[in-house]
């Protein structure tokens, strides 16, 4: 398990990409596939007509349950992978689920018991070049991170600063079965 150390918490205050308040504008700039981390982000993308290829959801926003409207839009027929992931961590199950979801040829929801906030970094590391990772920036909007060798290197560097065996975690994300 990887754990976020106190001294790294500030690294997540600044967005890793451009911030959007309009889902249609974000989608016009997004690559393919799209990986969404967060319930509200996934909701906005679906309402705008684009179901993310991979959605990482925990049923919460700002540590509170999402509204019934958001929950109803997020309910659906997509295959689900259930994982447990404690707050401020990345569990081996979370990393494996991301790899599995990206490799599937279907829209997949990773449903997290616990917290999904840190899933952005491994999503960037695991996604193919040209993909987009979208996550929420509280009280600001949606952040679009185009997956490039540069954004992947930045995400990998942040993962390597986490407590735990980061190299084993990165290996889980980058393995090709």
Rg of the Cα atoms in the chain: 15
Cβ atoms 106, 78 nearer than 8 A: yes
Residue 10 forms part of a structural domain:
no
Average pLDDT over residues 87-102: 95
Cβ atoms 80, 108 nearer than 8 A: yes
Say how many domains are in the chain: 1
CA 24 to chain centre: 19
Q: Is 55 exposed, middle or buried (0-12, 13-18, 19+ CB in 10 A)?
A: buried
Residue 30 forms part of a structural domain:
yes
Residue 8 forms part of a structural domain:
no
40 a known binding residue? Answer: yes
Q: Is the pLDDT of residue 147 over 70?
A: yes
Structural domain of 133: 16-171
116 a known binding residue? Answer: yes
Q: Is the pLDDT of residue 177 over 60?
A: no
Average pLDDT over residues 41-57: 96
Average pLDDT over residues 93-102: 96
93 a known binding residue? Answer: no
Q: Is the pLDDT of residue 165 over 70?
A: yes
Residue 101 forms part of a structural domain:
yes
Residue 160 forms part of a structural domain:
yes
Q: Which residue has the higher pLDDT, 118 or 59?
A: 118
Residue 5 forms part of a structural domain:
no
51 a known binding residue? Answer: no
Q: Which residue has the higher pLDDT, 36 or 72?
A: 36
């Amino acid at each position: 398990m990887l754990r976020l150390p106190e001294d790294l918490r500030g690294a997540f205050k600044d967005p890793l990409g451009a911030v959007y308040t309009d889902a249609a504008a974000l989608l016009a700039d997004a690559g393919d596939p799209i990986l969404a981390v967060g319930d509200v982000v996934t909701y906005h993308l679906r309402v705008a007509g684009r179901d993310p290829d991979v959605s990482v959801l925990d049923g919460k926003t700002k540590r509170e349950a999402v509204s019934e409207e958001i929950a109803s839009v997020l309910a659906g027929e997509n295959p689900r992978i259930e994982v447990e992931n404690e707050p401020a961590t990345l569990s081996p199950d979370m990393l494996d689920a991301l790899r599995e979801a990206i490799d599937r040829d279907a829209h997949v929801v990773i449903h997290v018991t616990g917290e999904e906030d840190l899933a952005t970094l491994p999503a960037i590391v695991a996604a193919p070049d040209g993909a987009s990772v979208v996550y929420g920036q509280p009280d600001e909007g949606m952040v679009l991170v185009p997956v490039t060798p540069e954004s992947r290197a930045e995400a990998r560097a942040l993962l390597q600063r986490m407590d735990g065996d980061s190299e084993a975690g990165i290996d889980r994300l980058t393995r090709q079965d």
